[in-house]
Amino acid sequence: MTLGKQKAAGKALLETSEIIFRPADGAPRVKIPFTKIKSAKSADGNLHLETPDGKINFDLGPAAAKWCDKILHPKTRSEKLGVKRGVSISVMGNFDAEFLKELRQTTSAISQNKLSPASELIFLSASLKTELSSGLAKTTKALKGATALWIVYPKGQKQITENDVLAEGRKAGLKDIKVVGFSPTHTALKFVVPTANR
């Protein structure tokens, strides 16, 4: 990574909404949110970014063009969650009106706080461990075949952590396969029934 006259070797990671750079010398990692990037271009294996902190260059090789495209055309939240046109969805728990509006823009087959037997995606909101346990007890019965369960929980809270969600999901016989930044305050973990048990 080059920032002005400073150069540092390390590992760059392309996340869903930011680039994270971890210097090899153990210096603090650098986060560059997509929202702070004024422009992005790729040329000769380099990703050139213009940010409020100045021009930043990443020497990425063949990945530079792909990264540039993802920065300029980020996926919507619905796309990250696998919501496709016409998909059947069950929404369990408290979700904000904006998320429900996003879902309705893609599909009309939405069941709120009642599990539809036709569900291909189930969203379960859990702010406490007790909500997680009771919610999982209901939703796991509705998981058939490739139906996926997204558990949405608050970030950085002691009353429910990522480890709690992973442990409860696995205890219910499910396999965790993906994590997505649901919002600035919440994370979503995706679970499915293991292929051998379908």
- Same domain? For 88 and 114 the reply is yes
pLDDT tens, the chain, 198 aa long: 998 888 999 999 998 778 999 999 988 999 999 989 999 999 999 999 999 989 999 999 999 999 999 999 888 889 999 999 999 999 999 999 999 999 999 999 999 999 999 999 999 999 999 999 999 999 998 898 999 999 999 998 999 999 999 999 999 999 999 998 898 899 999 999 999 988
Domain count for the chain:
2
Closest CA to 47 of 37, 26, 31, 35: 37
Look up residue 15 and give its two tokens: 């996340």
- pLDDT (tens digit, 9 = 90+) per residue, 139-189? 998 898 999 999 999 998 999 999 999 999 999 999 999 998 898 899 999
Enclosing domain of residue 180: 77-197
pTM, rounded to two decimals: 0.72
- Are residues 179 and 92 part of one domain? yes
133 and 65, same domain (yes or no): no
Judge if 155 and 82 occupy the same domain: yes
Q: 38 is written with which tokens? A: 């004024």
Give the 3-state secondary structure of residue 64: helix
Q: What is the CATH number of the domain that holds 137?
A: 3.40.50.150
147 with 57, same domain: the answer is no
Q: Are residues 14 and 84 both part of a single domain?
A: no
Q: What is the DSSP string of 97-166?
A: HHHHHHHHHH-S-EEESS--TT-SEEEEE-SSHHHHHHHHHHHGGG--TT-EEEEEEETT-SSS-HHHHH
Tokens of 176: 């965790």
CA atoms of 112 and 162, how far apart (whole Å): 25
